[in-house]
Amino acid sequence: MNNKSTIRMNYLYNVIYQIANILVPIITTPYLTRVLHARGMGRFAFYYSVSNYFCIFIKLGLLNYGNRTIAMVKDDKKALSNNFWAIYSFQLFMGLLVLSIYFLYCLLVAKDRRLAWVFSLMVLSAIIELDWLLYGLEKFKLASIRDAIVKVITAAGIMIFVKNAEDIWKYALIYALGVTLCQVITLPKAMKYVGFVRVSKKEIISHIRPNLLLFLPTIAISIYKTMDKIMLGKLSTDVELGYYHSCEGVIQVPLALITALGTIMLPRMSNMIVDKARKDEVDSLFMKSIEFAVFVTTSICFGIMAVAKEFVPLFYGKGFEKCISIFYIILPSCIFVAFANVLRTQYLLPRKRDSVYVVSLFLGALINLIVNMLLIPRMGSLGAAIGTLATEIIVCLLQARVVYKETNLSKHLIDTIPYLLSGIVMFTVIVNIKNKASILWLFSKIFLGFIIYIFVLSIAFFTRRILNEKHIC
């Protein structure tokens, strides 16, 4: 199978993986918002976010560092096994340490101890998580099939066992069991790719510093991906947190497609960049990825914004009207996230420009903390949404500034204008059509929006081609 076919298949598998990760929220959110209401959704989000912070300190920077390291040695079985066991030994050590601290949190700090103990399963699952190994080996099929099956089972369990607002612990248990089951299924299969070897302390220690360096961006990201929910729970109310958390499931749809692209392209670019003869191929993939990322986010994000007034009451039910305003603020951030994702996974990280990545994220996280501290007490979930938008813009601009100096990024930016224009025109037309609380009306507007987007995009491409031909002549 050639490189292009492999990339397409890996992308398809990773899209399935990412969609599976958001499938449960998309399918179950309309049910859960009606059963648990905004307050229950907020309580779940708070304790999930706390447990996720502990998971972050177990995995550190492995999703990027482990992925990249394995990709570079995947053709050498001995080097692969040595690197794997050296990296995983440190993961295991951190896992046992962090799990002990989490148990203390459950006993001494948590107000809702039952929910906190339930989410200890997620912390436990982080100890045996080996997705970074599978990604580095480009074994996306296993993760995709695994997640799809487990997520369907999880969704079924939620529908069967969660019946009223008191069943929030059942929801948390089913969710946490699903996450744990994913890792248990993967463990024996992943071990077949590496042979067991004893590694020295020196080998283990050699991976700690670069791992911690890529842990810094993980911490920065967690400040505005997880800390915003914890701050909402502390500085505002469970209801406001429920609004914000409920919106996240929908927002993850366009981001899942972009995350899938970045996940498969990081190991591929890391491998290709070593061969300088493939520079033209690397540049071509980089350009195509930018256009694809902007196409996906402008079409989906502007589309959701255009039909938000119909979508929110039909999807979430009564009492979630504030989600409309949250969508208007936070969805545009997806465009900046997508663009920065391509810059990070296909330029900065493969070239080991980790420091640029780290600095941009910490500056963005600082902005996020300041905005959240100022706005969440006054505006609740809307303040958190503004903080997220400001952060993603700052991070994207800082990374783009560095890449702009070293590549022909200006041309790539010009090539994205047709997609942005198409999304804006589609939104402007559709949002001004009278809204009705009807599923048929909602799908009619979605279909019309799709036609408008493609029509404007076709005109823009045709115009660009004419202008290019005249320029050539």
Q: For 214-264, how does the pLDDT look when each residue is reduced to its tens digit (9 = 90+)?
A: 777 777 777 767 778 888 878 888 888 888 888 887 777 777 777 766 666
Give the mean pLDDT of 49-65: 84
| Last residue in a domain, options 151, 174, 208 | 208
**Do 195 and 242 lie in a common domain?**
no
Distance from chain centroid for Cα 148: 17
Q: Where are the alpha helices (DSSP H) in 226-307?
A: 227-235, 238-272, 279-306
Residues 330 and 464 reside in one and the same domain: yes
**For residue range 316-364, what is the model confidence (pLDDT) as tens digits?**
888 888 889 999 999 999 899 888 888 887 778 777 777 788 888 888 8
Q: For residue 376, is it within any domain? A: yes
- Asked if 323 and 452 sit in the same domain, the reply is yes
Q: In this model, does residue 473 exceed pLDDT 50?
A: no
Looking at the structure, tell me whether residues 354 and 249 fall in a common domain.
yes
Is residue 214, in this structure, part of any structural domain at all? no
Does the pLDDT at position 102 exceed 90? Answer: yes
Give 293 or 261, the one with higher predicted confidence.
293
How buried is residue 472: exposed, middle or buried, by Cβ count under 10 Å (0-12/13-18/19+)?
Answer: exposed
Range of the domain at 274: 226-473
pLDDT tens digit sequence for 189-217: 878 888 787 878 888 888 778 777 777 77
Question: What value does the mean pLDDT of the chain take?
Answer: 83
Residue 431: other Cβ atoms inside 10 A:
17
Q: Classify residue 21 as exposed, middle or buried by CB count within 10 Å of its CB (0-12, 13-18, 19+).
A: middle
Domain count of the chain?
Answer: 2
- Residues of the chain above pLDDT 70, percent: 89
Rounded Cα distance between 449 and 455, Å, is 10
Q: In 10 A of CB 196, how many CB atoms?
A: 8
Q: What's the confidence (pLDDT) of residue 10? A: 66
Count of C-beta atoms within a 10 Å radius of residue 277 = 7
**Do residues 246 and 153 share a domain?**
no
Q: Which residues contact 466 (CB under 8 A, 6 or more apart)?
A: none
